[in-house]
Amino acid sequence: MRSVYFDHSGTTPVHPAVAEEMYRYLIGDSFGNPSSVNHLGLQVRKKVTEARDIAAQAIGAAPGEIVFTSGGTESDNMAIHGAAYTNKSRGNHIITSAVEHHAVLNTVKALGKQGFNITILPVDQYGMVSVDDVAAAITDRTILITIMHANNEVGTIMPIAEIGKLARERKIVFHVDAVQSFGKIPVNVDELGANLLSLSGHKIYGPKGIGVLYIRKGTRWRQTLFHGGAQERLRRAGTENIPGIMGLAKAIELAMENREAESARLMVLRDKLIKGLTSIENVRLTGHPVKRLPNHASFLFKCIEGESMLISLDMKRIAASTGSACTSGSLEPSHVLLAMGIPHADAHGSLRLTLGKDNTDDDVDYLLEVIKPIVEKLRNMSPLED
């Protein structure tokens, strides 16, 4: 049976060239500790410097502004926690949006329990944050704004550059979670006006458990979570994950080489999926129709449980997701869809199809062919049918 992977926003397969690069640092004599003053350590240290240069160049940063972390969740936590506590003497107000990934939302909420005053901005029907709402929420006590570049569940691209401009004018630290956008649309820290920016390896054909936190030089931020050694210039203690860092650098190189052509190719497939699926009765697109990630298609199927849809598709060897992969397993519908004003019952019928490098036009045809009878069958069985 044909096997199709449509869950690239959940995670991506490790690119063979990335795996090869990582393997080099798992075997032989490339195991040195970059903090060790011996030839093995120095050799690896040089490679980490090269990897840092690659990461910096990809987002328009300086190498000294790049910190390697264990992934998007850690980068988000470090960014938010560090900025909040470093700026506590100036104020205690933090602004975020209702559709952030839990790595951001739950971190901000945790700070809310520790005496910070938090504003969680609403979004419109497309999951978009309004720049005017951000402007209206800013007070003299605001010390941090954290808004994602693109949403993982509905693919909507936020007006980050405009929010960055506001933050800069008001001298407020601005954090951007670019985990989903990086490698798909341009991510440049100056254009976005970011002080802090999070990236993750496993969304770009790199390994899991590695990521980047960009920290703009001069940002009022210091390390507040980990206490330990002086690695990453005192910004992230712990012996570096060398195979991960080397794999991430390779993945970034490949992403930069292929981004434009690949995004253009995927956009055609995405639009075919959207056209095909929204032609089915009572199926609609979620997220912004135009300002959306080039590989991202997400839908609501009326009178269908997303979980049942996933299982039926999986039996046809199509891997998709409903809402966020990180929240599936719990019965609560996605906080993103609820924030977009979608009623509780409808929000259960969500399906996310996110495309990647191995997907072809035939994969899209296959999905469109198998999904129609699945929808019919599930709707016939559904107690939700009206």
- Give the residues across from 328 on adjacent strands: 330
CA atoms within a 13 Å half-sphere pointing along the CA-CB vector of 182: 33
**Residues 323, 334 contacting (CB under 8 angstroms):** yes
Size of the site for ligand PLP (CB under 6 A): 15
Please answer whether residues 248 and 179 qualify as being in contact, where contact means their C-beta atoms are separated by less than 8 angstroms.
no
Per the annotation, the verdict on 326 as an active-site residue is yes
Q: How far is CA 11 from the centre of its chain?
A: 10
With contacts defined by CB under 6 A, name the span among 70-78, 81-89, 287-295, 299-307 that binds ligand PLP. 70-78
- Contact pattern from residue 323 through residue 362 relative to ligand PLP, giving x for each residue in contact according to CB under 6 A and a dash for the rest: ---x------------------------------------
Residues numbered 143 to 162 that lie near ligand PLP (CB under 6 A) are 148, 152
List the x/- string, 207-246, binding to ligand PLP by CB under 6 A. Answer: ----x-----------------------------------
The residues, ordered by sequence, that sit 6+ positions from 381 with a Cβ below 8 Å of its Cβ are: none
In angstroms, the CA 87 to CA 357 distance is 42
**Of the two residues 197 and 254, which places its CB atom closer to ligand PLP in the complex?**
197
CB of 108 to ligand PLP, least distance (A): 13
Contact 20/216 with Cβ under 8 angstroms?
Answer: no
Q: Are 209 and 241 in contact (CB under 8 A)?
A: yes
Strands annotated E in 262-324:
283-285, 296-301, 318-319
- Which of 286, 298, 297 lies closest to 339, judged by CA? 286
Minimum CB separation of residue 373 from ligand PLP in Å reads: 31
Does 200 bind ligand PLP (CB under 6 A)? Our answer is yes
Amino acid identity of residue 255, one-letter, is A
The minimum distance between CB 203 and ligand PLP, in angstroms, equals: 7
Interface pick for ligand PLP out of 12, 92, 146, 180 (rule CB under 6 A): 180
Options 19, 40, 62, 326, the catalytic residue: 326
Q: Which residue is nearest to ligand PLP (CB)?
A: 72
Report, as residue numbers or ranges, the catalytic residues.
Answer: 326
**Interface positions with ligand PLP (CB under 6 A):** 71-73, 76, 101, 103, 148, 152, 177, 179-180, 200, 202, 211, 326
